[in-house]
Amino acid sequence: MHKIFSMPVADVYPLYVTKLERKGRTREELDEVIEWLTGYDDATLAEQLDTGATFDEFFAGAKLNAHSNLIKGVVCGVRVEEIEDPLMQKIRYLDKLVDELARGKSMEKVLRA
């Protein structure tokens, strides 16, 4: 089991926020992307962060967006669509969406609209 699986999402969330704010994006945009991917609403996302849910727990309770299979590309030198471990793939989907936001892609493109 990879150590990120047992890491609390709340530990990584501020890093996502910092990355995006440096690039002129907002916490609200990050939340919108996370909610699109996981099916969580604002209250459920806040609860997941407040309770210290690990990535394993966070994605176990999520209803992955039906269009998440459209997320393609490279994160950390690995193509997300080729990742075999389902949990690692979901984590990398999230990383990819955050990267796309940080690079200035429109929300419509990030959310595969």
How do residues 6-44 score in pLDDT, each as one tens digit?
999 999 999 999 999 999 999 999 999 999 999 999 999
**CA–CA separation, 98 vs 34, rounded Å?**
9
Q: What is the predicted pLDDT for the residue at 2?
A: 87
- Cα first-last separation, the chain: 34
**CA–CA separation, 83 vs 10, rounded Å?**
24
**Token pair for residue 108?**
């419509």
Q: What is the predicted pLDDT for the residue at 104?
A: 97
Q: What is the predicted pLDDT for the residue at 67?
A: 96
Kindly report the average pLDDT of the chain as a whole number: 96
What fold does the segment set 3-108 form as a domain? Helicase, Ruva Protein; domain 3 (1.10.8)
Residue 113 banded pLDDT, cuts 50, 70, 90: confident
Q: What is the predicted pLDDT for the residue at 11?
A: 97
